[in-house]
Amino acid sequence: MNVRLSGVGSYLPERVLSNPDLEKMVDTTSEWILERTGIRERRIAPDGVATSDLATIAAQRAMERAGISAGDVELIVVGTVTPDMMFPSTACLVQRNLQATGAAAFDVGAACSGFVYGLMTAASMISSGLYRNAIVIGADTLSRITDWTDRGTCVLFGDGAGAVVLEPGEGILGSCLGADGKGWDALMQPAGGSLMPATHETVDKRLHTIKMNGNQVFKFAVRAMANSVIECLDRCGMTRDDVNLLIPHQANTRIIEAAAARLGIPLDRVAVNIDKCGNMSSASIPVALDQAVQSGRLKRGDVGVMVAFGGGLTWGTAAFRW
Ligand SMILES: CC(C)(COP(=O)(O)OP(=O)(O)OC[C@H]1O[C@@H](n2cnc3c(N)ncnc32)[C@H](O)[C@@H]1OP(=O)(O)O)[C@@H](O)C(=O)NCCC(=O)NCCS
């Protein structure tokens, strides 16, 4: 695959929601949250700011670093579970905001694996010669679909966006995407779609918020992340020793540590930002990637491996040379 990542950018809303803040909202303690999840605080988008707004700023930052102007953008792909609305796609709203007239634009639905799925979709479209560049964005405002009365889930999530620019060149080394639809009900937002359209009853029952079987997702996540990275490295003819930085989905520090231990990758080669950001779904990986690049932790020429898991159930790994 002849596709490289030529720029990366991210954006986090300013407002911080800390664990002590959550203590005032639900029956929890800062210690429980930190010990069981690794999260200290998360960012929350203000009212009126939607996923496309976060996505647009992240995209602009990535474009600036790649040195590409809006008029030259050919494809925009957004991974999100919190689109501004059911349709049009958030990617179309980003295209309008960027004034990237002429770019094709669509969203990818793979829950928290959306960024990695979107990356490989766009990379394939460039590799095939269909497009000369693409912006791939992971953006979510999970605060909008969080049940703020459910202590089992509301402590986990945050808002943010990250983006990369893809262009022809040497970079993406290989991937491994997968799904297991039998686990569809382990993690979902039940109402608001064609199966259960919005009614007074669905709103009263808070069925437009995230429902999750935490233990089931936990076990699945550790296994899926480890297996998917092993498969991807195998396909690339690489081993764990070739990996300079593992960039996992940020859902729970204990999941990240267990997966890294299975892989035999020491934690000093694992990007972790969950303490400051919580789980931002599709945005977690590109935000962590941007932070690793800006801090100098991932340097040009280094090998990075991103690995995601999420609702679907889905998982996805992509290996690349930065
Ligand atoms: C959600 C998660 C943090 C729960 O941690 P856990 O160690 O499995 O905790 P359990 O669900 O076993 O709950 C243990 C107890 O803590 C309680 N608890 C749950 N949330 C709590 C909170 N915020 N504060 C205090 N207590 C809490 C539970 O009610 C339970 O109490 P009980 O034993 O009296 O019933 C963990 O399962 C997890 O991270 N799962 C994966 C979630 C995920 O990755 N989601 C996104 C995927 S993209």
pLDDT tens column, 228-279? 999 999 999 999 999 999 999 999 999 999 999 999 999 999 999 999 999 9
Smallest Cα–Cα separation from 161: which of 45, 2, 312? 45
Residue closest via CA to ligand 1's atom 13 equals: 152
Backbone angles phi, psi at 189, to 5 degrees: -115, 100
Q: Atom 12 of ligand 1 has which residue's CA nearest to it?
A: 215
Which of 92, 112, 176, 236 is catalytic? The answer is 112
pLDDT score recorded for residue 276? 98
Q: Which residues line ligand 1 (CB under 6 A)?
A: 28, 32-33, 36-37, 112, 151-152, 155, 187, 212, 214-215, 217-218, 221, 251-252, 279, 310
Ligand 1 atom nearest the C-alpha of 281 is 48
Query: Per residue in 147-174, pLDDT tens?
Result: 999 999 999 999 999 999 999 999 999 9
**81-111 confidence digits (pLDDT tens):** 999 999 999 999 999 999 999 999 999 999 9
Active site residue 279: yes
122 C-alpha to ligand 1 centroid (Å) = 36
- Over the chain, what is the mean pLDDT? 98
- Predicted local distance difference test score (pLDDT) of residue 216: 97
* Closest to 293 (Cα-Cα) out of 117, 165, 139, 116: 165
Q: Please tell me the class of the 3-169 domain.
A: alpha beta
- % of the chain surpassing 70 pLDDT: 100
- Percent of the chain at pLDDT exceeding 90: 100
DSSP 157: B
The answer to whether the beta carbons of residues 302 and 321 sit under 8 Å apart is yes
Q: What is the pLDDT of residues 265-292, one digit of tens each?
A: 999 999 999 999 999 999 999 999 999 9
Select which of 133, 227, 273, 279 is catalytic: 279
Residues in CB range of 104: below 8 A, 6 or more apart: 74, 75, 76, 131
pLDDT in tens, 28-77: 999 999 999 999 999 999 999 999 999 999 999 999 999 999 999 999 99
Q: Give distance in angstroms: CA of 254 to centre of ligand 1.
A: 12
| Domain ranges (residues) in the chain | 3-169, 175-321
259 CA → ligand 1 middle, Å: 18
* Catalytic site includes residue 252: no
Mark whether 249 is an active-site residue: yes
CB 13 within 8 Å of CB 46: yes
Look at residue 1 and tell me whether its pLDDT is greater than 90. no
Residues 6+ apart with CB under 8 A from 172: 1, 3, 4, 5, 119, 120, 123, 318, 319, 320
The Cβ of residue 201 has, within 10 Å, a number of other Cβ atoms equal to 10
Identify the pLDDT of residue 38.
98
Residues 147 and 154: beta-carbon distance below 8 Å: yes
Q: Which architecture, in CATH terms, is 175-321?
A: 3-Layer(aba) Sandwich (3.40)
User: Under a CB-based contact definition with an 8 Å cutoff, are residues 114 and 283 in contact?
Assistant: no
User: Catalytic residue among 176, 227, 236, 249, which?
Assistant: 249
